[in-house]
Amino acid sequence: MEEERDLVTFSDDDGNEFELEVIDYFEHEGQEYAVLVDAEPCEDEECDCDTEVYIMKIVVNGEMEEFLPADEDKMDELIKVVEARFDDCDCCGDDCDHDCDCGCNDCKE
């Protein structure tokens, strides 16, 4: 049985649609954020590409959640928060106390 994935569809400036997968949610300074990665990562063993990680601000608009770019002036701070969340988790170690979707059993209770 395949686990349900949290996918979000975005459009680029040219109208091309692409999907990102939410792998974690977190709150920082009263604002909710999401950590997203490409829904279809590069699986070519010869590929040198790194996984792109996106940090998006979540804004609730009525019943809809909007994913907006995080404020540039907070990006360094947000990157440190995300790195600490995944470092603590060690994907996943004993310190994992958050609800991430990294795929390990330590995060699934």
Q: Cα(67)–Cα(72) distance, rounded to whole angstroms?
A: 15
Q: What is the reported pLDDT for 39?
A: 83
Q: Residue 30 is which amino acid?
A: G
Domain map (residue ranges) of the chain: 7-70
Contact 36, 26 (CB under 8 A): no
pLDDT over 50 at 103, yes or no:
no
pLDDT over 90 at 67, yes or no:
yes
**Average pLDDT of the segment spanning 30-39:** 93
Helix or strand holding residue 83 (H, E): helix 75-89
**Average pLDDT of the segment spanning 35-43:** 81
Q: Is the model's pTM score more than 0.75?
A: no
Q: What is the reported pLDDT for 92?
A: 45
Contact 26, 81 (CB under 8 A): yes
What sign does the CA torsion over 18, 35, 40, 46 have?
positive
